Amino acid sequence: MQLHEDKYKDLNLKIGLEIHVQLKTEQKIFCECSTDYINSSPNNNICPICTSQPGSKPMGVNEKALENLLKIGLFFGCKAYEKPFYVQRKHYFYPDLPSNYQRTSQPILGDGNFMGVGIWEIHIEEDPGRYELREGKVDLNRCGVPLAEIVTAPDIKSPEYAREFLRDLLLSLEYLGVIRGESGSIRADVNISIMGGNRIEIKNVNSVKGVYKALKYEIVRQKAVLQRGGTITMETRHFDEGSMITKTLRKKETVADYRYIPDPDLVPIYISPEKLQEIESVLPESPHNKKKRFMKEYSLGEEIVDALISDLYLSDFFEESAKKSNPIESGKWCATELKRRLNEKNLSVSTSKITPKHISDMIGFIERGELSVKNAKWIIEDAVDTGEDITSLMDKKNFYQISSEDTLLDIIEKVMGDNPKAVEDYKSGNENALHFLFGKVVNETEGRAEPSKTIKLLKDKLCMVN
Amino acid sequence: MVETIIDDNVIERVSEIARLKLSEKEKEKFREEFERILEEFSVVDEIKVGEKELYYVIENVNVLRKDSEPKPFNKINDIKNNFNKKEDGFIVVPRNL
Ligand SMILES: [Zn+2]
């Protein structure tokens, strides 16, 4: 479900992503150097292979890297191509690439789907080193870290959904245990077209937030160009993380300039059906199957289920809480208020302090009439932030609802005594007076009066006045 | 003898993607060298190949290697000695390329 698309309906946005993630391995893709490029001093994690010393040859592809990539593809419902694939050399000159070509494979899997967004293809490549362009300094430690590139169809219809999609995609990959966890482990190229206009490519966006900001900026920029009667020409732009704007890239290699050739130092790779089966057997339940199961087993609506399954940590969390509470209630709270709070705080249930017990306990309080739905939202926020248990949060916030009829009647009588005019108005047929009096009772109890009981008692009491 | 295609535009484009600024004298030198290289390689055109492009002559596939404990290279300094300019372990190159 793309919830925010309405806002952009007239723009007919088509957004596609090329997402790079680092695959989790001990060794680099073509050599035995460590992939831990962050905790090592500059240029200390290198060898003749990953720095392309004259005469060096790559070792065979790291099998673990390939397996992790296959896991990603199969999890997103992709199919592997039946033909062997080979690794190509993509030539370009840049200080982070000592060989002057990047090894990048042909598509390995394709035709999948995640959160309603088509996955066109996935392939493997080597990460270049790091070039600090402002300082003119190069560190080759990252050279040869295995990367997966995931190419989506232009199915995303808003910057908000792009952000949500990426966030959940990353969580899924983390859950699968196939990617490195360090910050900066996502890089994306973003394609966007507005109203059937030309496609603009934004290169090298380095965070989920950056993708969102770059898209927001591009929409404003392109709208302004069109309003002035200008046209959008196809081009590649660069996103500046500091100023959060995109700028034209003056020079750009074309496909022909990359001079792709199959790498003669490496042999083709064939993924057998047996290999695929082996990988599939260790994968967690796919989002597709989980969706079907959740709808059947817990009788949850599609929208709720979509929100739950897009984050596997959240879907596990939900199932745990549903063991000790009404699954429909639990599903609703997890998919809406909890997810909203986590996104707001840039957390996942795996990194926040909230536990499934918080949700099931909270639902218990609501069902017993002790906690209002309105206050439950505050409880979730606090549980996410502090992890304190529900009972002590209830005490601390004084959230216990007043549902005792005697107590409510006392308050109602007081409110009616204080507001004789409103009582008169109600008697003469003014329904608004009832709302006014109800509001007074709510104020009197600091929002803790149980609403349906209060309304009923209030009506009864008013009818008794002659 | 191949027909020469090394005109000013080609030299310009090649120097652009190689990120090199060439003087007129260097451009002329490269033009001559490029032409000679192409001529040397033109012998390849004489090879008769079938309809299908053949990328690999060996039939070996799937040379993969198991991931295991990293094995640090023990002569990193020999590599570092090849760096033209160093600062705090980084290689120093032109800025803002
Ligand atoms: Zn290496």
Ligand 1 centroid–CA A107 distance in Å is 25
pLDDT at A256: 85
| Per-residue tokens: A173 | 């990959």
Among B60, B73, B87, the residue with its CB nearest the CB of A47 is B73
pLDDT at A2: 66
pLDDT at A451: 85
The answer to whether A173 touches A72, Cβ cutoff 8 Å, is: yes
Instruction: Provide the pairing of β-strand A200-205 with A235-240.
Output: parallel
pLDDT at B4: 58
Interface with chain A: mutation pick from B20, B22, B73, B85, highest number of A CBs within 10 Å: B73
The answer to whether A185 touches A145, Cβ cutoff 8 Å, is: no
How many other C-beta atoms can be found within 10 angstroms of the C-beta atom of residue A275? 16
Q: Render pLDDT for A167-217 as a digit per residue (tens, 0 to 9).
A: 889 988 988 999 997 655 689 999 999 987 889 999 889 899 999 999 999
CA A348 to CA A314: how far, in whole Å?
8
Q: Render pLDDT for A204-248 as a digit per residue (tens, 0 to 9).
A: 898 999 999 999 999 999 989 888 888 888 888 988 888 888 888
Q: List the beta bridge partners of residue A114.
A: A117
pLDDT at A404: 84
Output b/e per residue, B61-86; b: 16+ Cβ within 10 A. ebebbebeebeebeebeebeeebeee
B60 against A172, higher pLDDT? A172
* Strand ranges, E, within A107-222: 109-114, 117-126, 130-132, 137-139, 146-152, 186-193, 200-205
How many other C-beta atoms can be found within 10 angstroms of the C-beta atom of residue A316? 16
CA A42 to CA A139: how far, in whole Å?
5
Candidates A155, A169, A137, A162; CA nearest to A20 is A169
pLDDT at A1: 53
| Per-residue tokens: A346 | 């840039």
Candidates A400, A12, A84, A105; CA nearest to B61 is A84
The ranges assigned to domains in chain A are 5-280, 285-397, 405-465
CA B69 to CA A40: how far, in whole Å?
16
Low-confidence ranges of chain A (pLDDT < 70): 1-5, 182-185, 250-252, 466
| Complex ipTM | 0.87
The ranges assigned to domains in chain B are 1-62
- The residue in chain A having the minimum alpha-carbon distance to the alpha carbon of residue B58 is A267
Contacts of A82 in chain B (CB under 8 A): none
pLDDT at A362: 94
pLDDT at A403: 81
The answer to whether A198 touches A233, Cβ cutoff 8 Å, is: yes
Instruction: Using DSSP, state whether B43 is helix, strand or coil.
Output: helix
pLDDT band at B1 (very low <50, low <70, confident <90, very high): very low
Q: List the beta bridge partners of residue A202.
A: A190, A237
Among B67, B72, B87, the residue with its CB nearest the CB of A62 is B67
Q: List the beta bridge partners of residue B90.
A: B87
pLDDT at A4: 60
pLDDT at A401: 82
Contacts of B55 in chain A (CB under 8 A): 86, 262, 268
Q: Considering chain A, what percentage of its residues have pLDDT values greater than 90?
A: 63
The answer to which of A298-302, A322-326, B46-50, B80-84 has the lowest mean pLDDT is B46-50
Show which of residues 157-186 on chain A sit within 8 Å of chain B, judged by CB atoms.
none
CA A31 to CA A48: how far, in whole Å?
9
pLDDT at A397: 82
User: If 0-12 CB within 10 Å is exposed, 13-18 middle and 19+ buried, where does residue A82 land?
Assistant: exposed
Give the number of C-alpha atoms closer than 13 A to the C-alpha of residue A256, restricted to the C-beta side: 3
Ligand 1 centroid–CA A47 distance in Å is 4
Q: List the beta bridge partners of residue A34.
A: A27
Residues in chain A: 466
Provide the mean pLDDT of chain B: 86
pLDDT at B65: 96
pLDDT at A105: 97
Q: Render pLDDT for A363-415 as a digit per residue (tens, 0 to 9).
A: 999 998 888 888 899 999 999 999 999 999 888 888 888 888 888 899 999 99
Describe chain A by its helix, strand, coil percentages, rounded to 5. Answer: 45, 20, 35
Contacts of B91 in chain A (CB under 8 A): 43, 95, 137-140
- Torsion, Cα of B18, B21, B23, B28 (10° steps): 10
User: If 0-12 CB within 10 Å is exposed, 13-18 middle and 19+ buried, where does residue B25 land?
Assistant: exposed
Output b/e per residue, A358-379; b: 16+ Cβ within 10 A. bbbbbbbbbeeebbbeebbeeb
How many other C-beta atoms can be found within 10 angstroms of the C-beta atom of residue A5? 15
CA A29 to CA A143: how far, in whole Å?
9
pLDDT at A6: 73
pLDDT at A42: 95
DSSP secondary structure letter of residue A140: G
CA A104 to CA A106: how far, in whole Å?
7
DSSP secondary structure letter of residue A270: -
Domain A405-465 has CATH 1.10.10.410: yes
pLDDT at B49: 76
